[in-house]
Amino acid sequence: MNDFPDGFAHYPIYFDADQQQALIEAVRAGVKQAPFFISHMPRTGTPMSVALSNFGTLGWMSDKDQGYRYVPHHPATGKPWAPIPKLLLDLWDDVTGYPVQPECCLINWYKEGTKMGAHIDNDEQDAKAPVVSISLGDPAMFRMGGPQRGGPTKGIKLFSGDVVVMAGASRFCYHSVSKIFYGESALVPKGGRINLTMRRVNLP
Ligand code: SIN
Ligand code: FE2
C-alpha cells in the first residue's frame, strides 16, 4: 500500500557508494564536454535556478523563444552531449524492462537554495516509456501530486543513490522538488545535489 499514483516506484540506495562515485565521475566528464548551462522559461524568459546539462543523443533544454525541447547539441558550444553511461542504461533495462533505451539523460544540478516547481514531463512523443530518475549528493524533498496542478501531494525524501521510476499513471502526474538538504552529503565536489533523469523521447 502506498499513496503514490500507480506506476510510481522508489528504490532506496539502488546504487552503492562506489557506484555513486562512478556516476559523479561520469557527470564530471560529461560536463567537461557539455558544460552546465541555465535554461529559461518559455515566453517569460525567467531563468531556472537549477543548472543543467545532458547525456545522450538528445538533450532537453528550454529558452524564451522556442520553449521546452530536445536538441542534439549543446546550445552554447554546438557540440554533441556525452553518451549515456552504461551503468545508467543498465539501470533503465533493470527497472523498466522497456524494449527501447532512452535517448536523453538530463543532468540537473541543484545548488544551495534551488528547487524545481511542479511540472509534468510532457515533451516526449513516446508516452508509454517510463521516466527514471537518480539522486546523487545532498538529499531532496521530492513531492508527487496527481494529474491536476495544485492537488494534494505526497513528499518523499530522496537520498544519494536512490532511484525513482514514474511509469503508468504516475508518468503524467505533477511532481516537484521543494527543498534541498544542502550540505548533508559530501559526494558532489562543488556541493549540492545532482539529479539524473532518463527519458525516451521518440517513438520506437
Ligand atoms: C525533474 O522532475 O525533472 C527532477 C526531479 C528530481 O530532481 O528529483
Ligand atoms: Fe520532471
As a whole-number percent, the residues of the chain with pLDDT over 90 amount to 98
| Domains of the chain, residue spans | 8-199
pLDDT beyond 50 at 1: no
pLDDT in tens, 190-200: 999 999 999 99
Mean pLDDT, residues 134-148: 98
Whose CA is closest to atom 3 on ligand 1?
197
pLDDT in tens, 36-74: 999 999 999 999 999 999 999 999 999 999 999 999 999
Mean pLDDT, residues 150-158: 96
Whose CA is closest to atom 7 on ligand 1?
195
Which atom in ligand 1 lies closest to the alpha carbon of residue 195?
7
Specify whether the CB–CB gap between 159 and 13 falls below 8 A: yes
pLDDT in tens, 17-31: 999 999 999 999 999
Q: What is the pLDDT of residue 3?
A: 86
Amino acid in position 186: A
Ligand 1 pocket check: which of 10, 165, 177, 193 to mutate, most ligand atoms within 8 Å of Cβ?
177
CA of 202 from ligand 2 middle (Å) equals 17
pLDDT in tens, 73-123: 999 999 999 999 999 999 999 999 999 999 999 999 999 999 999 999 999
- Closest by CA to 22, choosing from 108, 91, 103, 80, is 91
Rg (CA), the chain: 16
Question: Which ligand lies nearest to the CA atom of residue 159 in the structure?
Answer: 1
Which atom in ligand 1 lies closest to the alpha carbon of residue 133?
8
Whose CA is closest to atom 6 on ligand 1?
195
Q: What is the pLDDT of residue 2?
A: 55
**CATH architecture label of 8-199:** Sandwich (2.60)
| Residue 199 CB partners (closer than 8 Å, separation 6+) | 60, 102, 103, 104, 105, 106, 121, 124, 129, 131
Q: Which residues line ligand 1 (CB under 6 A)?
A: 108, 116, 133, 140, 142, 175, 177, 195, 197
